[in-house]
Amino acid sequence: MYCVNYDYEVVSWIIYTKEVRAIAKVIEFHFTEKGRLPKISPEELEGFKKKFADILKEYPDVKYNGTYTNEEGMGICDWDAPNAEVVKEIVTKALGAPPADPVIVVEKIM
C-alpha cells in the first residue's frame, strides 16, 4: 500500500508564483525609404546573421520567424515575442538604432 502526502502550502505557492508569459505575433515593417532593407553581400549577410543570433540568445522568450522583402527592400520581419517593445530593443541592439518603421502586435483574424 502506498501513501501520498501533499503539502498543500508548498503546492499552492508553486502554482501561484509560476510566471506565465503571453507571446504575441509582432510584425516589424520596412516600407519607408529610411526603413527599407539595403542590398548587402552574402558575406555581410552572414556576419549580420551571426550577430543577430548572438543577440537573440539573450531573449529566450523571443522567436524570430524570418524577414520577407521585395526587390526594393520593402517588407516585414515576423516575430513571436512578449510585446513590440522587446522586438524594438533587439533591433536597436542589432542595428545600433531603433527601427525606422512601425513595430506592432497583430492578431490572426482568418
Q: What is the pLDDT of residues 38-47, one digit of tens each?
A: 999 999 999 9
Coil/strand/helix, residue 68: strand
CATH number for the domain that contains residue 65: 3.30.70.3090
| Domain assignment present for 66 | yes
Q: Does the pLDDT of residue 98 top 90, yes or no?
A: yes
| Domain assignment present for 5 | no
Q: Does the pLDDT of residue 62 top 80, yes or no?
A: yes
| Domain assignment present for 47 | yes
Cα–Cα distance measured from residue 31 to residue 38, given in angstroms and rounded to the nearest whole number? 12
Report how many domains make up the chain. 1
| Domain assignment present for 81 | yes
